[in-house]
A and B are shown apart, each in its own frame.
Chain A
Amino acid sequence: MTDKCHPGINLGIRHGEAHQHAEKVMFGFWVFLMSDLVLFGVIFATYVTTVTPMGIAGGPGPADVFDLKSVFIQTMLLLTSSLTFGIATLMLRHEKGIRNIVLWLCVTLGLGLGFLTLELRDFATMFASGAVPSRSGFLSAFFALVPLHGLHVAAGAIWIVVMLAQVAIFGLIPMVKTRLLRLALFWHFLDVIWIAIFSIVYLGGLA
């Protein structure tokens, strides 16, 4: 057995059973994420085909509805949350105690919720100005793609809460450790998807 038994951050040999068990669950989770990536990719492709005069159908276009400043703040929040989750993973890997892990998880959760709040505020603004999904093909694709990512972030946030409960109830047993590892992977994945969203949807739409 080596110190690295699956893609991504490993717990390391000194975690014994948890590290061994991680090999198969982490690989499985990677495969799931790749499937999810294809799901996003197909929606991205659809979105790109609707940012045309036909898709916009005389309704508001990207320049009319996107708020670059808000998107920039959302990007910063999510990027920072990726870093803070990374630090939580390191605390787990180097056995720096439950307190440190919980602290960094809570910071990540706060950043994630901040991201969701801003995103929902943007959607509310768009709705108020009449940019609703039933207005055009372009807005339909937008409201399928971006909120789907938001839904993933919300699921990640719920997952963090569940893991906080499991850490409190069970302590850092192998089962909890490998779940935290998968959650970390999920959270980094969300940030990678967001890179594509801000580049293709927002920056591409406003350039």
Chain B
Amino acid sequence: MTALLDWGWPLGVFTLEQLPFVRAYNNPTTSELIGAGAASLVVLGGLAVLVILTWFGWWRPLWRNWLTSTDHKRIGIMYIVLSLVMLSRGVIEGALMRTQQATGLNSGFLTPDHFSQLFSTHGTIMIFFVAMPFVAGLINYVMPLQIGARDMSFPVMNQISLGLTAVGAVLVMISLVLGQFSTGGWTAYPPYTGKVFSPGVGPDYWIWSVAIAGIGSTLTGINFAVTIYKERAPGMHLFRMPLFTWTALCAAILLIFALPPLTVSTLMLALDRYLGFHFFTNDLGGNLMNYANLFWLFGHPEVYLLVLPAFGVFSEVIATYSGKRLYGYASLVYATMAISVLSFTVWLHHFFTMGQGANVNIAFGIATMVIAIPTGVKVYDWMATMFRGRIRFSVPMVYATGFLILFVIGGLSGVILANPTIDYQVHNSVFLVAHFHNVLIPGVLYGMLAGYHYWFPKAFGFRLSEGWGYVTATLWIFGFAFTFFPLYVAGLLGMPRRSVSFSDPSFQPLMLIAVFGAVLIMGALAALVVQLFVSIRNRKVLAVPLGDPWNGRTLEWATSSPPPEYNFAIIPTVTSRDMFALDKARGTAFEASQNYKDIVLPKNTAIGMIVSIGGTGLGLALVWQIWWLALVCVTGMLIALIGDTFRKDVHRVIPAADVAREHKEWLKKIADAKPVNRLEEATPHNTGFAAQEDAQ
């Protein structure tokens, strides 16, 4: 409580010793030098961005076209950029941990404290700032196009959500330069993360980055759900929605209902740390076990909210590249819904060993196994979709194949872990690490990368280089296998997770194989960057401005690439599933309209940026206990948000004449274009106008 009243030093508890450079100067060990190196990378990277923006004069376009935009497509792209930046940090940290454990027989080059920070930031980043923004970005971009909407229901709130997510990511990045991050893992279990055992600022960084980003995610979920419920094009019943939109709806529901327990558990931890409450302390009636309970009430639905949209991507990808209608649409929808509800009934399997009675464990174990049933239904549906299709083995299909095989293995190891008696044996071993990477990498990451490759031409008007795409996908698949399959074995041999070093020499060969896999994954990351770079350089050759490079089946392909900011000149009328495929088969896909109308869109606004800057300030102020700054930020944000509600002039109009002109120009280009055969879709002949060979 005394800290609360300490207004003396204007920078709270911050001192120069909190800078990694000062620490490395005072104590130049490998660990500290790596820390200082990472901090310099953040500082230099930030400076480089500033220099580039100034040099090319990009500040104004960045502000006008991106940061203040309320367009769901631009917001979606910004989410994915954020996610890819954070992915590179997360992968490097993962590789560093693999290297440490490869050399970790009785030694290693990192201090235990540094290693703990690495696995804490790695997990936090990968879940909250890679997977979540990637999923949110992809849904943001694709879902309104798929349902034939002009934008999200609440475009300004969408911008604020992005701002809050960015705050969390920025706080995690700042923790590299100012102070240290938590050493308590991505789950931050107390009492270790309580004030008694972690008096530093680390857990506070974790708390505020996760809590602030979590509020953004809740708002995102509300926005997705309302958009899907209220903005669908006329005729698009729920059971005519593309499967990706279905998974987006279920993910939205999970966001809405699963995030509150996270908010509660993080804020309770904050109350413990800041105001001496006793929720999770060891003394005076605190109960640390309730933290595990609350955290996993969020944590388990969370993994499904990440993986369901990936399932959605694969459903689209497999149907498109097999040239067939999706097999078992209704069963896929029901399976998705079943998984969403069941995901709320299994959270206890994350802490089978905590000490509750066997009946409790069995109930949750059975519930966990039941989830395998709807998931299995999905796998069969995807395989049946490919059966007798005309499959093109494109890059997203490589990811899909890798996913089908590897994810089934990951899922089966999950069913093994769902048995409490087995879980007792392998709990907290690297077997578990292998299991969840085995579902998250082939499931979520491959899904997101497949979606990235699949929809990239829609967003930017040119394809990604196929050659580098195959290299990237292959490296991800083999990199994953080499890194994580050895961990299954090491886990069964008894190697505990999160250990900086080990003394059993039989683990070492396995760790050496794993570090080789980590090298491959680093290569995959590099190939991903090269692919983007090469594709941008060859964008003229790869251009597909007409909008339908893959002979797509759903509405997002029925508009130009990139789409106009209002998405569709005329809102499509839907009479069937796979509406665009039907329109193409009937020859009615590209027709001018008689009555174009004025289109009303929201004006740009800076409120998202204000909330983002205020939120970052607030987060830093809370971490470093700079109370005057916290007060300034909260008041500033409140005034800005309330003031924003007094804005009346929030819309702008695009005249019907402009809409008609743009639409007719696009139609004329299509009329002049030569349709491309499917086997030639990866060649420069592909301008985004697919030939209709056989309609199924």
Distance, CA A135 to CA B286, complexed state (A): 10
Can you sample 15 A-B contacts with CB below 8 Å? Answer: A24-B230, A28-B222, A28-B223, A35-B260, A39-B260, A54-B287, A134-B276, A134-B284, A137-B285, A138-B285, A140-B286, A144-B267, A144-B271, A144-B277, A169-B646
Distance, CA A135 to CA B277, complexed state (A): 8
CB pair A133 B275 closer than 8 Å: yes
Known interface pairs A24-B153, A27-B229; A38-B257 also in contact (CB < 8 Å): yes
CB-CB < 8 A to B264: which residues of A? Answer: 39, 42-43, 46
- A166, CB-defined interface residue at 8 Å: yes
Q: A35-B259, A55-B287 are in contact. List 10 more A-B contacts (CB 8 A).
A: A27-B229, A31-B226, A56-B285, A133-B277, A134-B1, A137-B278, A138-B285, A144-B267, A166-B646, A170-B648
- B394, CB-defined interface residue at 8 Å: no
User: CB within 8 Å of B: which residues of A?
Assistant: 23-24, 27-28, 31-32, 34-36, 38-39, 42-43, 46, 49-50, 54-57, 59, 133-141, 143-144, 162, 166, 169-170, 173, 175, 179
CB pair A28 B284 closer than 8 Å: no
CB-CB < 8 A to B297: which residues of A? Answer: 42
CB pair B278 A35 closer than 8 Å: no
CB pair B222 A35 closer than 8 Å: yes
Interface string of B56-86 (1 = CB under 8 A from A): 0000000000000000000000000000000
| A57 CB, nearest partner CB in chain B, Å | 4
- B225, CB-defined interface residue at 8 Å: yes
Distance, CA A27 to CA B224, complexed state (A): 12
Distance, CA A174 to CA B285, complexed state (A): 51
| B255 CB, nearest partner CB in chain A, Å | 9
Interface string of B220-263 (1 = CB under 8 A from A): 01110110011100000000000000000000000011011101
CB pair B226 A134 closer than 8 Å: no
CB pair B642 A49 closer than 8 Å: no
How many residues on B have C-beta within 8 angstroms of the other chain's C-beta atoms?
40
- B154, CB-defined interface residue at 8 Å: yes
- B335, CB-defined interface residue at 8 Å: no
- B573, CB-defined interface residue at 8 Å: no
- B294, CB-defined interface residue at 8 Å: yes
CB pair A140 B279 closer than 8 Å: yes
CB-CB < 8 A to A133: which residues of B? Answer: 271, 275-278
Distance, CA A133 to CA B284, complexed state (A): 11
| A71 CB, nearest partner CB in chain B, Å | 23
- B107, CB-defined interface residue at 8 Å: no
CB-CB < 8 A to A35: which residues of B? Answer: 218, 221-222, 256-257, 259-260
Distance, CA A144 to CA B642, complexed state (A): 26
CB pair B226 A28 closer than 8 Å: yes
In the complex, residue of chain B having the shortest beta-carbon distance to the beta carbon of A165: B646
CB pair B222 A32 closer than 8 Å: yes
- B503, CB-defined interface residue at 8 Å: no
Top 10 closest A-B pairs, CB basis?
Answer: A137-B285, A57-B285, A39-B260, A134-B276, A140-B277, A136-B285, A38-B260, A28-B226, A55-B285, A24-B230
CB-CB < 8 A to B366: which residues of A? Answer: none
CB pair B287 A137 closer than 8 Å: yes
CB pair A42 B294 closer than 8 Å: yes
Distance, CA A112 to CA B685, complexed state (A): 69
Known interface pairs A39-B260, A166-B646, A169-B646; A50-B153 also in contact (CB < 8 Å): no
In the complex, residue of chain A having the shortest beta-carbon distance to the beta carbon of B226: A28
Distance, CA A43 to CA B287, complexed state (A): 14
B260 touches which of A27, A36, A50, A138 (Cβ 8 Å): A36
In the complex, residue of chain B having the shortest beta-carbon distance to the beta carbon of A161: B642
- B290, CB-defined interface residue at 8 Å: yes
| B148 CB, nearest partner CB in chain A, Å | 16
CB pair A38 B261 closer than 8 Å: yes
CB-CB < 8 A to A23: which residues of B? Answer: 230
Distance, CA A27 to CA B256, complexed state (A): 13
B168-223 contacts to A (CB < 8 Å): 218, 221-223
CB-CB < 8 A to B221: which residues of A? Answer: 35
CB-CB < 8 A to B272: which residues of A? Answer: 140
Distance, CA A38 to CA B221, complexed state (A): 14
CB pair B226 A24 closer than 8 Å: yes
Interface string of B677-693 (1 = CB under 8 A from A): 00000000000000000
CB-CB < 8 A to B223: which residues of A? Answer: 28
Distance, CA A162 to CA B294, complexed state (A): 35
- B268, CB-defined interface residue at 8 Å: yes
CB-CB < 8 A to B279: which residues of A? Answer: 46, 137, 140-141, 144
CB-CB < 8 A to A36: which residues of B? Answer: 260
- B645, CB-defined interface residue at 8 Å: yes
A28 touches which of B1, B153, B278 (Cβ 8 Å): B153
Distance, CA A34 to CA B222, complexed state (A): 10
| A195 CB, nearest partner CB in chain B, Å | 19
CB-CB < 8 A to A28: which residues of B? Answer: 153-154, 222-223, 226
CB-CB < 8 A to A166: which residues of B? Answer: 645-646
CB-CB < 8 A to B283: which residues of A? Answer: 57
CB-CB < 8 A to B276: which residues of A? Answer: 133-134
Distance, CA A138 to CA B279, complexed state (A): 8
CB pair A136 B278 closer than 8 Å: yes
CB pair A137 B275 closer than 8 Å: no
Distance, CA A143 to CA B294, complexed state (A): 18
CB pair A137 B284 closer than 8 Å: yes
Known interface pairs A38-B257, A54-B285, A140-B271; A31-B648 also in contact (CB < 8 Å): no
| B2 CB, nearest partner CB in chain A, Å | 13
CB pair B256 A134 closer than 8 Å: no
CB pair B230 A57 closer than 8 Å: no
Distance, CA A165 to CA B145, complexed state (A): 38
CB-CB < 8 A to A173: which residues of B? Answer: 648
Known interface pairs A46-B294, A144-B268; A134-B275 also in contact (CB < 8 Å): yes
CB-CB < 8 A to A34: which residues of B? Answer: 256-257
**Highest count of chain B CB atoms <10 Å: which of A36, A46, A136:** A46
